[in-house]
Structure 1
C-alpha cells in the first residue's frame, strides 16, 4: 500500500519552515533534511537554507521528495492573486518557450489544479513512448561481447583465456547484434523506471506499468550527461528526439537515495530570469513586424571573453538597433543597479545601438518610467515596465507588441 501524494504550493522567495503546516500538509523534518541534500547536490542554486527552513529564490517548477510534491510558482510583488492563477501562467510560459508542450497531453488535464508539473511532464513522456511503440520501435546494430557455445564473430583471445581456462567448450567472442536492446531504448527504460518510482499511489502508476509491459526488455544502465552525448541522430531515429529530451530531463534531475536515507527525490526547476527572457524573445519574434529580433548574440569583449545582451532589435527600414535587458524582479527606483546601467552602456557601444532598455515585469501597466542620457556618446538608457497579465488575469499574449511600442 503506497502513501497518497501530498502537495504544497509556494511562491518564489517564500520560506518553508520545518514543522509548519502548509496546504494542510506538515513540512516534516525528513522533507527538510532531504531538500537540503538535494540542494547541495545541485550546487545550492535552488534555495537558501535559513534557520529551520528553506527560502526559495528565482527557480520555479516542481520538486518531489518521497510522497511530498512542492510546486514553486512565479509571482510579481504587489499583485494579489490565487496560486492557481500563477500555476496556469507558469504552464503557459513553459508552453510558449517550448519547455513544455501541453497540447501533447490534453488541455483538460492542465486545467485541473490537482495536476502539477511533474504529472504533466510524466504523462507527456509516457504518451511519447506509447506513440513510438505503436509506430514500431527501431532496431540498431551494437557490439556484444560474451561467452557462447559456438564460435561466432571475433574471438577475444585475452578474455577467452581468462574466462574459459576450465570451460574449453565455450568461446568468448565479439559480434554484431541487430535488435532493440540498444542505448536509446536503455535510456528510455531507465526513464520509465524513474516515472514508475514517482507514480506509486497515483493514477499514472497503472499506465506506466502498461507501457513498461509493452516495452522490450533491455539492459539496465546508469545514465549521466555523457550518456546522452553518445546518442547520434539519423533519419531512422529522428522521431526519438523529443522523447529523449524528456528522458534526459527526467533522468538528470532525479536524485535517488541521496547519501542520508531512502527518500527518492526529483527536481524539475527553471530559472525564472531565463524563462522570462525566453518568453519575451519569442513574443517579440512573433509580433515585432518590421523588426529583426535576435537573442543569444554575443561579441568578443576582452581576451577571449564575450558579452551578450538578452535581446537585440533592428528596425528593418532604418537599420537602427536597440538593446533589451530583461529583469524578472519587482521594479523600484532604488533597485536599479549601477552594474545594469553600465551593461546597457557597453551594449550600446558594441552594437552601435541608439538606446537600451532595462525591462521589468509589472502587474498592471506597460510604460517607460525613466529615460536618461549617458554622460558620454549621447547613448540613451531607459527603464521600462511591461504587464505580465492581461485584464482577465491571464498571461499577456501581446507582450511583444507592447514592448515594440517603446520604440515608436
Structure 2
C-alpha cells in the first residue's frame, strides 16, 4: 500500500493533470524545474508530463512522484510490477554506491511503505546521529564582533562606529575554536530541509531528535561553491558520507523555485548512466573472481579530433590487449535494430582501441534469458579484422535484480 500523496510512474510514461492528486500547481512547479535543468527531465504537454529516461523521486508541494525504470513498454503497470521495479532501482543505486540502506529502511522497503526520498533522509539522519555519538569536531574560524576583552585584531573603523558609548567593548576579528563551522553549517542546512519535507511522516520525530542533539550553528545558504571550500583532513574524514548526502539534498532542493511558492526536492538519475555503472561494477567483481587475468576499465577516453575525445562505456583487457569493448544501452531492442549511429560508433571504438570484438549491450525483461547474441556481422565487406555483436542480458533473476550479469558477460569471451 502506497503512502498518501505518493504517485509511482514508469520512465517514458505520461502523467496527466488531475490523476492521482497531480494538480495544475504541481505541473507548473515541474515545468519550472525542467526549465532550470535545460528541459532534460520531462516533455511537457498541455495537459500533463511525459517522463524521459530519468528515474528517482520528486517531492513538490506535498506530492511525491517516484519514477521507476522499465524495459518493456507493454508490461502491466500494476502494483506488483511497480514494487518489483522499485526494488530493482534501489538495488542498482545500492550497488553503484549512490544509496546505502539502513536496517530499518530495508524493512520498510520490503513492505513498500516508503519511497526513495524517505530512504535517503533516513540514511542522512543515521549518519548525523553516528557523528554525534562519535563526537562532533571543533574547528578554528575567524569571527568579527564586539567582545569584552581585547583579543585578536582590533578593527578600528568598526570599533569607532559601534563603541563610542560602550568604552568597555572592543570590536575585533579573532579566532574561535567551536563547533559552529562550515561543515556543521552545511549539515544544519540539510537537517532543516529534511525536517521540513518530513512533516507528517514517521521520520519527523527522528529529525527533531537529531536537531536537538545537534549544536546550534549559523544558518547559511550553501551552493556548489560552498562545498568546494570544505577543508579535507584526517579529522573531517568521518564526515564524508554525511556531507555527500547533504550535498545531494541541498543542491537538488529548490525553495521558491523561479519566484514561485513551491518547495521542491528532485533526486533523479539518468537510467542510461545507472545501467552502465551497474554493469561496470558487476563486471569488475566477476573479473576479480575469474581465473583469467582480466582488467575492466570505465571512462577510458582517447583524443579524437582537436579537443574532442571518444569514450566507450567499458573496456576489457588481458595484459596490453583489448579483448572486448562494451557500450551499454538502456532500451528495448526486441523489435528494432541498432541505430546506424551506434554501429558507426562501435566501428570507431574497435579501430581506436585496436579491438577485434565489440558489443552493444541491451537489457532484457526475459527472466529465463541469461545472455543472447544476435546479428554477429562484419562492419565492412573484406574488412574482417574486427566485428561487432548485439547482446541482450537479463536484468531480472527470480523476480529480482540479476547479480550475475558480470559472469554472464565474461562467459562471452570464452
Q: For residues 133 and 104 of structure 2, what CA distance do their matches in structure 1 show?
A: 17
- Structure 2 vs 1, CA of residues 87 and 205 (structure 1 numbering), >3 Å: closer, same or farther? same
3-state SS of paired residue (2:401): coil
Q: Is the 8 A contact 1:79 1:363 kept in 2?
A: no
Q: Is the 8 A contact 2:61 2:264 kept in 1?
A: yes
Aligned-pair CA distance for 1:121: 0.3
* Alignment map for 1:293-372 (pairs within 5 Å): 293-316=296-319, 319-332=321-334, 334-364=336-366, 365=369, 366-372=371-377
1:62 aligns with 2:62: no
3-state SS of paired residue (2:326): strand
Of stretches 160-169 and 61-70 in structure 1, the one that deviates more from structure 2 is: 160-169
- Structure 2 vs 1, CA of residues 347 and 158 (structure 1 numbering), >3 Å: closer, same or farther? farther
Task: Determine the structure 2 residue equivalent to 1:394.
Answer: 400
Of stretches 377-386 and 117-126 in structure 1, the one that deviates more from structure 2 is: 377-386
User: In the TM superposition, what whole-angstrom CA distance separates every residue of 1:107-161 from its partner, at most 9, and x where no partner exists?
Assistant: 2122121210000000000000001101110000011111223321011234334
User: In the TM superposition, what whole-angstrom CA distance separates every residue of 1:322-362 from its partner, at most 9, and x where no partner exists?
Assistant: 10000001114644111111111111111111111111111
Q: Is the 8 A contact 1:15 1:56 kept in 2?
A: yes
C-alpha RMSD of matched pairs (Å): 1.7
Task: Determine the structure 2 residue equivalent to 1:189.
Answer: 188
Unaligned 5+ segments in structure 1 are: none
The count of residues paired between Structure 1 and Structure 2 equals 399
3-state SS of paired residue (1:397): coil
**Pick from 46, 52, 71: which aligns with 2:47?**
52
Q: For residues 105 and 130 of structure 1, what CA distance do their matches in structure 2 show?
A: 14
Q: Is the 8 A contact 2:188 2:217 kept in 1?
A: yes
Task: Determine the structure 2 residue equivalent to 1:254.
Answer: 253
TM-score, structure 2 length as denominator? 0.92
Task: Determine the structure 1 residue equivalent to 2:412.
Answer: 406
Q: Is the 8 A contact 2:105 2:119 kept in 1?
A: no
3-state SS of paired residue (2:256): coil
3-state SS of paired residue (1:82): helix
TM-score, structure 1 length as denominator? 0.94
Task: Determine the structure 2 residue equivalent to 1:222.
Answer: 221
Aligned-pair CA distance for 1:283: 0.3
- Structure 2 vs 1, CA of residues 104 and 189 (structure 1 numbering), >3 Å: closer, same or farther? farther
Q: For residues 180 and 227 of structure 1, what CA distance do their matches in structure 2 show?
A: 18
Unaligned 5+ segments in structure 2 are: none
3-state SS of paired residue (2:83): helix
Q: Is the 8 A contact 1:102 1:110 kept in 2?
A: no
Q: Is the 8 A contact 2:71 2:365 kept in 1?
A: yes
3-state SS of paired residue (2:396): coil
Q: For residues 346 and 104 of structure 1, what CA distance do their matches in structure 2 show?
A: 47
Aligned-pair CA distance for 1:164: 4.1
Task: Determine the structure 2 residue equivalent to 1:244.
Answer: 243
